[in-house]
């Protein structure tokens, strides 16, 4: 009979090998998903956008959203031009997934919206990247990111839920809900906001400092035109800082 040491060595090798295989599969899954997401070079979409922030009442925004890879975005509201909230808050999945070389960690499986999802963490190897860590819940059957949670160096943590129906081929969602910390939040130009003047700001019990407000941006994409070759001039015209 084999010795106890030999049995333990075999078991250790089996466990170690399973971790290596899982890490390789998770890495391949991440890069395949990223390639699919980044295949969209530009799009034009009719959208409805609902911005929900504590103590503020903001009207529903309707219009046309323009995007060009990697980070150009512009919205034309019905009735006039509108710049999107805070230029460094990115509203597309491609800007919340690390680029370049990435260390991928297999977290395991869970169920989300009735689907079995594979959860991975992606850590960029580039120390200058604004993204520190992205956690992704992936529908492996359709190769879609159902949820992301991205921690950044400058903009806090951005959480995003995505729902798909008509544009699965391009990994473009029909509806997105973005959860974010509201820091230096800049509303779109020309939007009238009602404030709740009686509201008391939340404060940290230990430091006494005012807490960051939480907010959501909910976008419904009604129709896409994809990879039509949008020019840079579309995004430069009327641009505000």
Q: Which domains does the chain have, with CATH numbers?
A: 4-236 (2.50.20)
Burial pattern 205-226, b for ≥16 Cβ within 10 A else e, equals eeeeeeeebebebbbbbeebeb
Angstrom distance (rounded) from CA 90 to CA 58 = 20
Mean pLDDT to the nearest integer, 125-149:
92
* Least confident residue range of 18-22, 162-166, 221-225: 18-22
Residue 4 has what pLDDT?
A: 63
Sign of CA dihedral 71, 77, 81, 83: negative
Residue 184 has what pLDDT?
A: 44
pLDDT surpassing 70 at residue 179 = yes
pLDDT surpassing 60 at residue 173 = yes
Looking up tokens 């503020």 gives: 56
pLDDT surpassing 70 at residue 67 = yes
Angstrom distance (rounded) from CA 126 to CA 181 = 24
pLDDT surpassing 50 at residue 21 = no
pLDDT surpassing 60 at residue 60 = yes
Mean pLDDT to the nearest integer, 147-171:
89
- How many other C-beta atoms can be found within 10 angstroms of the C-beta atom of residue 106? 19
Mean pLDDT to the nearest integer, 61-78:
86
Sign of CA dihedral 46, 217, 176, 150: positive
pLDDT surpassing 60 at residue 88 = no
Residue 196's SS3 state is: coil
Mean pLDDT to the nearest integer, 151-155:
80
Mean pLDDT to the nearest integer, 3-9:
58
């Amino acid at each position: 009979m084999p010795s106890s040491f030999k049995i333990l060595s075999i078991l250790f090798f089996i466990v170690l090998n399973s971790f290596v295989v899982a890490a390789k599969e998770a890495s391949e899954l991440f890069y395949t998903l990223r390639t699919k997401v980044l295949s969209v070079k530009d799009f034009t979409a009719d959208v409805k956008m609902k911005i929900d922030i504590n103590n503020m009442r903001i009207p529903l925004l309707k219009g046309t959203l323009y995007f060009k890879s990697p980070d150009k975005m512009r919205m034309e509201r019905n009735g006039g031009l509108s710049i999107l909230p805070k230029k460094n808050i990115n509203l597309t999945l491609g800007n919340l997934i690390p680029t370049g070389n990435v260390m991928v960690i297999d977290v395991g499986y869970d169920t989300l919206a009735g689907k079995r999802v594979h959860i991975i963490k992606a850590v960029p190897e580039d120390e200058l990247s604004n993204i520190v860590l992205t956690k992704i819940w992936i529908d492996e059957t359709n190769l879609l990111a159902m949820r992301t949670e991205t921690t950044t160096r400058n903009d806090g943590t951005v959480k995003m839920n995505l729902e798909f129906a008509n544009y699965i081929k391009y990994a473009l969602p029909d509806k997105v809900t973005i959860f974010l910390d509201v820091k230096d939040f800049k509303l779109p130009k020309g939007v009238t906001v009602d404030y709740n003047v009686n509201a008391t700001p939340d404060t940290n019990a230990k430091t006494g400092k005012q807490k960051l407000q939480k907010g959501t941006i909910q976008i419904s994409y009604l129709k896409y035109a994809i990879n039509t070759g949008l020019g840079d001039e579309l995004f430069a015209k009327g641009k505000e800082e």
